[in-house]
Structure 1
Amino acid sequence: MTNNDTSHLTASDVAETRIDTDLLITVSGPPGCGATTLCNRLAAALDCPYVSGGDIFRELADEKGFSLNQQIAEADTSDSIDRALDERLQSIAEKWGQADKPFILESRLAGWLAGEHADLRLWLDAPESVRLERIDGRIETEAEMRVREVSEAGRYQSYYDIDVDDREFYDLQINTARWDKEGVFQLVRAAIETYDRETDEGAFDTPPVDV
């Protein structure tokens, strides 16, 4: 499943922000961090698709005939759903990593799962109060968001020995509460457009994830 929702952008918006690159970019962060907003804007600027872990999670639920809440509950009691999700995301990253075309992968573990295929890894965050305000009105409640964050962190540690608080290997970390949507986009745009493989002295190593 790929996304490229640019319905809110005019033709001139898209033309003015076009970015010429072949980078595979991963975007990660907790609920309400602004990842979906950034990914939609980036997908339009790069003229490329992006895959969201949330959409794949829903896709897996549909395949099983589960509601989203049933899928979440099942994921809390069994590792099969998480591993199926991560395996699919890892496979997508591998496919696009070999395509030499721009692509965006978004999920909490995207930077880990993409491994050596990722050219630029982004981590977005914001104070909890800001993130809670952003998710207000969504299906997910404040309590559910907090429970999910703790639950996911525990599962990642248990399954893959991944500490989601270890962000050393991310190339760019942004507090999205400090800039508006346009400001966040422009920060990332600058990182993409000024990136030069010839002067790249090396990214931090990402331990392989065996899903």
Structure 2
Amino acid sequence: MADTDDGSDRLSDSNLFVTVSGPPGSGVTTLCEGLSAALDCGYVSGGEVFREMAEERDMTLTQLIAEAGQSDEIDRALDRRLRTIAEKWGTANKAFILESRLAGWLAGNRADLRIWLDAPANVRADRTDDREEMTAEMQVREVIEASRYESYYDIDLSDRSFYDLVVNTGRWSPAGTLEIVLSAVREYDATIDEGAFETADLDI
């Protein structure tokens, strides 16, 4: 009799802490939504936390972005919140997804699987053409954030060797990208994992 196991049981039993990172338009939100549904777990988005911070300060998103450009206080406050979330879920023994540009670094050794998504600039521009957050300010923020993170934490965002899985989402459909990631989740076995990167907690 043929083996009909499609891996669904392994997905439902998964308790992996997954981080997803990538620039705007790379498909991180779409992947997190699909992955969250498949694993029946929650996820936290760095963008949503940033919006919450703007509301708490009675500021528009554009105003908070402008303020973030004046000092490192906003960026570090965001990163502290995300790290607190990572600390909580890293010990929960339940599946969870954390999404932000620095999610893998902020989660540190708590993360089981670190994913980076990307796509060619023209593809990402087409995907984000109608998004409110893709203002000129957000585009500028994307350009300068790499130098900020290197200055703050000595992190080189261009170094993809840190991630367990790097996917060019310009080459696959959202469903195809999700299946690539789900395949990695199904096949993950902590008992034979010899490729994890040790990560020190960031000095935030």
Give the counterpart of 2:56 among 54, 59, 63: 63
- Cα distance in structure 2, aligned partners of 1:97 and 1:191: 19
Structure 2 contact 162–197 (Cα < 8 Å) conserved? yes
Q: How far is the alpha carbon of 1:141 from its aligned partner? A: 4.2
CA contact (8 A) 2:86 2:106 kept: yes
Match of 1:195 in 2: 188
In structure 1, give the amino acid aligned to 2:70.
T
Give the superposition deviation at 1:142.
6.7
1:180 aligns with 2:196: no
Q: Where in structure 2 are there 5+ consecutive unaligned residues?
A: 1-7
Matched pairs, number: 197
Runs (5+) with no aligned partner, structure 1: 1-14
TM-score normalised by structure 2 residue count: 0.92
Q: 1:99 aligns with which of 71, 83, 92?
A: 92
Match of 1:89 in 2: 82
Partner of 2:4: none
Letter in 1 for 2:130: G
State the match for 1:138 in structure 2: 131
Could you say which residue in structure 2 is the equivalent of 1:8? none
- Give the aligned partner of residue 7 of structure 1: none
Distance in 2 (alpha carbons) for counterparts of 1:144 and 1:174: 26
Q: For 1:146-173, what per-residue CA distance to the aligned partner results, in whole angstroms no more than 9, with x for missing partners?
A: 4121221121111111111112110000
64 and 142 in structure 1: CA distance in 2 versus 1, 3 angstrom threshold: closer
Shift of 1:205: 2.4
Alpha-carbon deviation of 1:145?
A: 4.5
What letter matches 2:93 in structure 1?
A: D
Deviates more, 1:138-147 or 1:87-96: 138-147
Identity %: 61
* Aligned counterparts, 1:162-181, within 5 A: 162-181=155-174
Distance, in Å, in 1 between the alignment partners of 2:91 and 2:144 is 33
Note if contact 2:11-2:185 (Cα within 8 Å) is conserved in structure 1: no
Could you tell me the TM-score, scaled by structure 1's length? 0.89
